[in-house]
Amino acid sequence: MNKTRLAILFGGKSDEYSVSLHSAAAIIKNVPQDMFDVTLVGITRDGKWLHYEGTADRINDDTWHHEMLSPVILSMDNNFRGLIKLDEKGGTFEKIAIDCIFPVLHGKNGEDGTIQGLCQMTGIPFVGCGMTASAVSMDKEFTHAICERAGIRMAPYVRAARSGNLNVKKLYEESLEKLSLPMFIKPANNGSSLGISKIRNYNEFEKGIMEAFEYDDKVIIEKMIEGFEIGCAVVGNEELLIGEVDEIDTKNDFFDYVEKYSQHNSKIHCPARISDELKAEAKKTAEKTYRALGCKGLSRVDMFLAPDNTIYLNEINTIPGLTDLSRYPSMLKKIGIEYKDLIVKLVDLAMEGN
């Protein structure tokens, strides 16, 4: 059997660059060598694409780019599907044929449809959602619009775009009337809780708006949902496998960036400590969200469970954290999908129909 020539993209011009390094290092260590011929492409924080041939550990500790590496570009010519490695000194190039691309990238330029559009242009199958599903799932306002139309409950919200004459006081009053306190302000497009604040008064609102605008030109303000967060892993194209439901137990104000990656004051319970009925309902919401947004391959659907047992969709992550200890693989492990098998499955799903 011929090995699948797999290009793994890691890093990325994104605030979640380092999250990607950890996800990619774990995938590289676990990808079955007898099935795949792996080419690694590291993308630096400033957007350089480099061919990397070193160890996964040097990706994990972010020293992978401390050596001279050759630039690579993705061929947009569908008659040659692969990468073109440039030897800038010698003025030569080398072609590396690729059967499948695995963009192990998070956040902007990773799961927002940009890289997916590029991959679609190459004609090479790639892991995960397509361009439109990725873009819509990344944008919290568009997620609201599509999912609410599909009958999925979400927190009431207000949106605001950056503009020279934005009246923050008026926006606060409008938000207060529609949402009441506390509220959450979030950049419409970002991840890992960056730029997100919990708002209890006008001063915090003013500061929160400024902070969110540092990450995006559009922000959304949401009513705070009491209760706690649950999540559910989904894998598949048309036929879906739904993972176990997990639960975030945090003592913090909310699941912020530091907590997400340190978990000093938080614990993830998988399975969630909720009734079977609620788990079933959460899985149904996850599946409905996935289908409404036209997802493919994989996604983690994040929800809130309110004290009255109502489930609200929070957001969907089309390339969730993918280390072997991350929430997404852990939820699938509980239904019998081991990490190594998950990697193979994701590539198989990408190549389905090709």
Binding site for ligand ADP (CB under 6 A): 155, 184, 186, 190-193, 196, 222, 224-225, 229, 254-255, 302, 314-315
Cβ-count burial 280-297 (b if 16+ within 10 Å, e if not): ebbbebbbbbbebbebbb
Minimum separation from the CB atom of position 225 to ligand ADP (A): 4
Minimum separation from the CB atom of position 28 to ligand ADP (A): 25
Minimum separation from the CB atom of position 190 to ligand ADP (A): 6
Long-range pairs for 204-210 at CB < 8 Å and ≥24 separation?
Answer: 205/168, 205/172, 205/175, 206/168, 206/172, 209/160, 209/168, 209/171, 209/185
Three-class SS string for 238-253?
CCEEEEEEEEEEECCC
Q: Tell me whether residue 9 or residue 199 sits nearer to ligand ADP (CB atom).
A: 199
Minimum separation from the CB atom of position 156 to ligand ADP (A): 9
Minimum separation from the CB atom of position 2 to ligand ADP (A): 39
**Six token digits for residue 144:** 């609201």
Q: Tell me whether residue 99 or residue 139 sits nearer to ligand ADP (CB atom).
A: 139
Q: Tell me whether residue 30 or residue 192 sits nearer to ligand ADP (CB atom).
A: 192
Q: Tell me whether residue 99 or residue 112 sits nearer to ligand ADP (CB atom).
A: 112
Tell me which DSSP letter residue 225 carries.
P
Minimum separation from the CB atom of position 274 to ligand ADP (A): 17
Q: Tell me whether residue 229 or residue 281 sits nearer to ligand ADP (CB atom).
A: 229
Q: Tell me whether residue 105 or residue 225 sits nearer to ligand ADP (CB atom).
A: 225
Please give the distance of CA 105 from its chain centroid, rounded to a whole number: 8
Q: Tell me whether residue 156 or residue 294 sits nearer to ligand ADP (CB atom).
A: 156
Rounded distance between C-alpha atoms, residue 299 and residue 19, angstroms: 16
Rounded distance between C-alpha atoms, residue 325 and residue 337, angstroms: 13
Q: Are 186 and 219 in contact (CB under 8 A)?
A: yes
Minimum separation from the CB atom of position 87 to ligand ADP (A): 40
Put the strands of the sheet holding 197-199 in their side by side order: 157-161, 218-223, 183-187, 197-199
